[in-house]
Amino acid sequence: PIGQTRLTMGINEYNFDWRLAAGDSFQTPEVAMVYSTTGLNGMSQAYHDLLRDRVARSRYKREPRPILINNWEATYFDFDANKIQSISDAAAPLGIEMFVLDDGWFGHRNDDNSSLGDWFVNRNKL
What average pLDDT does the segment 69-97 reach? Answer: 93
Q: Where are the domains of the chain?
A: 29-59, 66-126
* Adjacent-strand bridge partners of 99: 69
Give residue-wise pLDDT tens across range 3-51.
Answer: 777 777 778 778 888 889 999 998 887 888 888 888 889 999 999 988 8
Q: What is the pLDDT of residue 122?
A: 85
Q: What angle do CA 20, 25, 27 make, to 5 degrees?
A: 115
Give residue-wise pLDDT tens across range 87-121.
Answer: 999 999 999 999 998 888 888 888 888 887 778 88
Q: How far apart are CA 65 and CA 56, in angstroms?
A: 12
What average pLDDT does the segment 75-97 reach? Answer: 93
- Please check the confidence at residue 64 and state whether its pLDDT lies above 90: no
In a 10 Å sphere around its CB, with 0-12 CB exposed, 13-18 middle and 19+ buried, how is residue 71 labelled? buried
Q: What is the pLDDT of residue 15?
A: 82
Q: What is the pLDDT of residue 14?
A: 81
To the question of pTM greater than 0.75 for the whole model, the response is: no
pLDDT averaged over every residue in the chain:
86
Q: What is the pLDDT of residue 1?
A: 60
Cα-trace Rg, the chain:
22
